Structure 1
Amino acid sequence: MAKDRKPPIEFETTCVVAASPDTVYRHLTDPHSYIGLSPLVVAVDDVRTGHDAEGRAVWDYVAVERFRLAGPLRWDNRIRVRMVSTQPAGQLVSEVRSPGWVWLRAEVDLAAVADGTRVRERVTAGAPAPLRRFVTTQARQVAAYRAAELTRRMAAG
């Protein structure tokens, strides 16, 4: 690592939802489920599904994040997402590329527990120095919101 480079942003979020791992997996592997699951995602388009060289299921799509600026101003950030299922109904890995040299990797592990499913998300992200604080704050807020919203959705059935 170069001397002037910052280490990646890293954190983890865990929640337990009242649904089976298969139900949670089906929800999380539908790119359109992320509309509202992330407070920033307002649209998903250009969804492509397939398999990679190792035979793993892959979803490539564009998510539109909407940032509210001063007053009525907003900025729609189109991000490229590649989601890979690394094991049947057990782990999803998403790689996000955003303008401004911002990147994010989210590893979601699903495990059956007595009350439903434990959802653990490990996030690693990077951004240039001027964006680092903003990216860190947004990524943490989005992860916490996503855990709460997924818990709400799974409880609602």
Structure 2
Amino acid sequence: MPSTELKHTFQITAPPEEVFAHLAEPSHYVGLSPLLVAVRDVRRSGGTVHYTAVERFRFLGVLRHDNIIDVTLVAAPDGLPQSAEISGEVRSPGRVRMSYRFAIDRDEAGSVVTDTLHLRTPPGLLRFAASQAGAVQQARARVLTARLERPA
């Protein structure tokens, strides 16, 4: 299957513990991704969480398609308070697969977050999936910063 990796690094004034806690909770992803409109069927087993998410796509501003995806999230706070990692896998209909990783490291002003996505798609879908994932990645950084940012 064709694949690509997308990486985006950004700073946020919140400490790693807060960023980790926010990203470790599935319900916080609603709105964190502009496509994600619902999280349901959350099942926890130790540091691993499985859930179903609903991505809503709009075509031509009128047609709506809800994409039901299976998500696995693994939260590893082992390095806190200096660093932490959240990773997982997304399985979407149409055989689109995405592994993701948030590396959260302490910085003088708070945290540096590196958001890495690895996409695998059937032939012909990679360009569309990568453009959607890249836009979501950029939006996620802006929304997370707005949610957790502390005034200087």
TM-score normalized by the length of structure 1: 0.89
The residue aligned with 2:74 is: 84
The residue aligned with 1:66 is: 56
* SS of equivalent residue, structure 2 residue 21: helix
The residue aligned with 1:134 is: 128
CA distance in 2, matches of 1:151, 1:87: 20
Q: How does 1:137-152 map to 2 (within 5 A)?
A: 137-152=131-146
* SS of equivalent residue, structure 2 residue 135: helix
Offset, 1:72: 2.3
Name segments (4+ residues, structure 1) moved above 6 Å: none
How has the CA–CA distance of structure 1 residues 140 and 47 changed in structure 2, closer, same or farther, with 3 Å as cutoff?
same
1:24 and 2:19 are equivalent in the alignment:
yes
Measured against aligned partners, the alpha-carbon deviations of 1:71-122 in whole angstroms (never above 9, x if no partner) come to 4210000100000123435001120000001000111111110111111011
CA distance in 1, matches of 2:133, 2:29: 14
- The alignment's C-alpha RMSD in Å is 1.4
| Structure 2 residue ranges without an equivalent (≥5) | none
The residue aligned with 2:105 is: 111
State the AA in 2 paired with 1:46: D
The residue aligned with 2:36 is: 41
Q: Quick check: 2:37–2:56 contact (8 Å CA) kept in 1?
A: yes
Offset, 1:133: 1.1
CA distance in 2, matches of 1:86, 1:150: 19
| Structure 1 residue ranges without an equivalent (≥5) | 52-56
TM-score normalized by the length of structure 2: 0.91
